[in-house]
Amino acid sequence: MASITQKIIDIEPVEGCIASAMRVLGRKWSALILRDLHRGPKRFCELEHSIEHITPRVLSQRLIDLESQNIIKLEAGSYELTSKGYDLIPTLVQMASWGNKYPS
């Protein structure tokens, strides 16, 4: 809980911004898919092997979702980030920093 003396910072300049980001990152596995695609284009089987415990069905669903939101694209049999997807990388870096600071 923030103390009374701590300045309140408006982290959402327009209502709905956080909800918009959560539509992409809030689904289980999506952030890990983006993490792996940040390292370069990957085929379906490469993603399936790099993301522990994800089922092929769920991976397929997440890839379809991310592609429909123009976060990733399928080109020549490999998935890769779009410029919109690359714009999410700083958010993932901050999530990783927080997870490192407060491991579960």
For the chain, domain boundaries? 28-101
CATH number of 28-101: 1.10.10.10
What gap in Å lies between CA 35 and CA 30, rounded to an integer? 9
**Per-residue confidence (pLDDT) for residue 6, from 0 to 100:** 60
- pLDDT over threshold 60, residue 3: no
What gap in Å lies between CA 20 and CA 42, rounded to an integer? 26
Report the percentage of the chain scoring pLDDT > 90. 82
Spatial CA neighbour of 94 closest among 13, 35, 47, 51: 35
pLDDT digits (tens, 9 = 90+) for 4-52: 556 667 888 888 888 999 999 999 999 999 999 999 999 999 999 999 9
**At residue 78, what are phi and psi to the nearest 5 degrees?**
-125, 145
Q: Poorest-confidence range of 21-25, 61-65, 72-76?
A: 21-25
Q: What is the mean pLDDT of residues 68-91?
A: 97
Structural Rg of the chain based on CA atoms: 16
- pLDDT over threshold 90, residue 2: no
Q: Determine the 3-state secondary structure of 74 from DSSP.
A: strand
Spatial CA neighbour of 80 closest among 91, 70, 65: 70
**Per-residue confidence (pLDDT) for residue 1, from 0 to 100:** 53
